[in-house]
């Protein structure tokens, strides 16, 4: 049983202002496996005040970039020592297969820290530009201020590192609000922050529900909000930030398309799509959940994807042989089952999977990996983000129609094209309205590349130099 009773505020562990607790329930056993404190509004106020004081009067924003890079290096070193503990905790909390948790969930944050320190080391913190009137203009980058970082449960530590680390390198201070489902790993991250000896108030961690997040996002002491979550919640965050004229970065939902050209190899393509679509049981925002195939070869590609899904092992996330674990919560299981039933009712052909529990599973929030064919882009399974292990195959006549279908979406987060002709693939990539795109590799998220969406998938960018830009403001100084 994991049990936490304190919040991390102003560099120390403090008693919450309420006895309310968050129950952490195993998605596999459906049993309570831990408890986390739930931050009350007064706790959020205390955390923002600590971050405000640390920014306005503390040493952190006034350190040199090299000194902040060194401090983040300490953070990365401590994280490396605890990454095994982190992987096991994330697997227990959200049901991620332990092999995936070790290889991806706990490893990607270290890669993100390394990438951001590289970016920061090469960043033009202070530069001279020739001015129009014959004198140079000095452009200095300054931290934006106090950052509210709100992260979901699906890739918790990677998303935390993608917000907290660039904010720290920029000289900002942070109040982190994790999702209730993954509160424990965020508090473990707070332990790592404490061990790295960052100054008090620079990072504060306040787990809680939506009301906690809403109070934080609307707080007048916050200068910027970085939010990852659903499009519906993102709209509310954007309105709150507009009201307070606060900067905001939104990384929201997706319904990404994989465009499979007629010259692609069915087996290799199916394998790549499976890896890019069903990781974490399909609970990733950039999953390639729409698969567009040429009508002349539809059966070949559908058969290849059916074979890939049939090889997946679904079951206990603590078993190293498991490929797909359960979904994070009963509500998510019911949601995904509803989409599967709706797809059948609307006339899509169920190739494999379905709403029933997988074979050999008698409890837990599991859903069979599911493949639909003979679908069209007007169906709900093709238009709405399911956030589960469900793939929808749509056929097309020619490349123009494939691009049109890919772009006929409210979302624009990611996408991919599969072809033997790389130049052809690059040409298609330039026609699809998506923030990130892969050619013959699904979509591999590189922490040195900017990541973010278009349309209802949000705005702003995380990772890469652009991810650091988002936590800085430019000051022009003339006559110096």
Which active-site residues does the annotation give?
251, 285
Sequence-ordered list of residues with C-beta below 8 angstroms from that of 217, at least 6 positions apart, any chain: 148, 150, 225, 227, 237, 240, 241
Contact 237, 230 (CB under 8 A): no
DSSP for 241-257, written as a single string: HHHHT-EEEEE-----E
CA end-to-end span of the chain: 61
Sequence-ordered list of residues with C-beta below 8 angstroms from that of 225, at least 6 positions apart, any chain: 147, 148, 150, 217, 237, 240, 241, 246, 247, 248, 249
What does the alpha-carbon distance between residue 129 and residue 135 come to, in Å, rounded to a whole number?
A: 9
What does the alpha-carbon distance between residue 180 and residue 192 come to, in Å, rounded to a whole number?
A: 19
Radius of gyration of the chain (CA): 23
- 268 C-beta neighbours (distance < 10 Å), count: 12
Sequence-ordered list of residues with C-beta below 8 angstroms from that of 206, at least 6 positions apart, any chain: 7, 9, 39, 43, 44, 47, 175, 176, 177, 212, 216
Sequence-ordered list of residues with C-beta below 8 angstroms from that of 76, at least 6 positions apart, any chain: 110, 113, 114, 117
Q: Which two tokens stand for residue 172?
A: 């900002």
- 129 C-beta neighbours (distance < 10 Å), count: 9
Sequence-ordered list of residues with C-beta below 8 angstroms from that of 350, at least 6 positions apart, any chain: 340, 343, 344, 370, 371, 372
What does the alpha-carbon distance between residue 179 and residue 167 come to, in Å, rounded to a whole number?
A: 19
């Amino acid at each position: 049983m994991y049990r936490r009773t304190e919040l991390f505020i102003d560099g120390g562990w403090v008693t919450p202002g309420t006895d309310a607790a968050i129950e952490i329930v195993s998605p596999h056993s459906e049993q309570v496996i831990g408890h986390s404190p739930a931050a009350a509004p007064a706790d959020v106020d205390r955390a923002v005040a600590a971050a405000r004081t640390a920014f306005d009067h503390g040493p952190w924003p006034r350190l040199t970039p090299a000194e902040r890079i060194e401090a983040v290096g300490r953070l990365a070193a401590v994280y490396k020592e605890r990454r095994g503990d982190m992987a096991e905790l994330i697997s227990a909390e959200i049901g991620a297969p332990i092999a995936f948790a070790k290889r991806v969930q706990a490893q990607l944050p270290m890669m993100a820290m390394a990438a951001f320190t590289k970016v920061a080391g090469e960043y033009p913190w202070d530069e001279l530009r020739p001015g129009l009137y014959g004198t140079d203009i000095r452009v200095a980058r300054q931290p934006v201020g106090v950052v509210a970082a709100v992260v979901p449960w699906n890739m918790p530590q990677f998303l935390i590192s993608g917000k907290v680390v660039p904010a720290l390198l920029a000289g900002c201070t942070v109040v982190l609000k994790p999702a209730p489902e993954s509160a424990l790993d965020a508090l473990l991250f707070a332990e790592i922050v404490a061990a790295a000896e960052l100054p008090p108030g620079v990072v504060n961690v306040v787990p809680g529900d939506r009301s906690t997040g809403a109070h934080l996002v609307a707080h007048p002491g916050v200068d910027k909000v970085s939010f990852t979550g659903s499009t519906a919640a993102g709209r509310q965050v954007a309105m709150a930030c507009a009201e307070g004229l606060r900067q905001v970065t939104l990384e929201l939902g997706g319904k990404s398309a994989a465009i499979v050209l007629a010259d692609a190899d069915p087996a290799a393509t199916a394998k790549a799509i499976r890896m890019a679509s069903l990781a974490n049981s399909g609970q990733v925002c950039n999953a390639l959940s729409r698969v567009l195939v040429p009508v002349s070869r539809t059966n070949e590609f559908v058969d290849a994807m059916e074979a890939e899904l049939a090889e997946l092992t679904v079951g206990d996330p603590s078993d190293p042989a498991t490929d797909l674990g359960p979904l994070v919560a009963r509500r998510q299981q019911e949601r995904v089952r509803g989409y599967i039933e709706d797809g059948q009712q609307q006339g899509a052909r169920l190739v494999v999977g379905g709403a029933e529990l997988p074979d050999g599973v008698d409890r837990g929030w599991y859903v069979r990996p599911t493949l639909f064919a003979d679908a069209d882009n007007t169906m709900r399974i093709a238009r709405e983000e399911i956030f589960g292990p469900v793939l929808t195959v749509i056929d097309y006549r020619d490349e123009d129609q494939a691009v049109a279908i890919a772009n006929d979406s409210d979302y624009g987060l990611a996408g991919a094209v599969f072809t033997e002709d790389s130049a052809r693939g690059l040409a298609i990539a330039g026609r699809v309205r998506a923030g990130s795109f892969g050619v013959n590799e699904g979509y591999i998220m590189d922490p040195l590349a900017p990541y973010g969406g278009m349309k209802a998938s949000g705005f702003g960018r995380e990772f890469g130099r652009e991810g650091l830009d988002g936590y800085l403001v430019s000051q022009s100084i003339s006559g110096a």
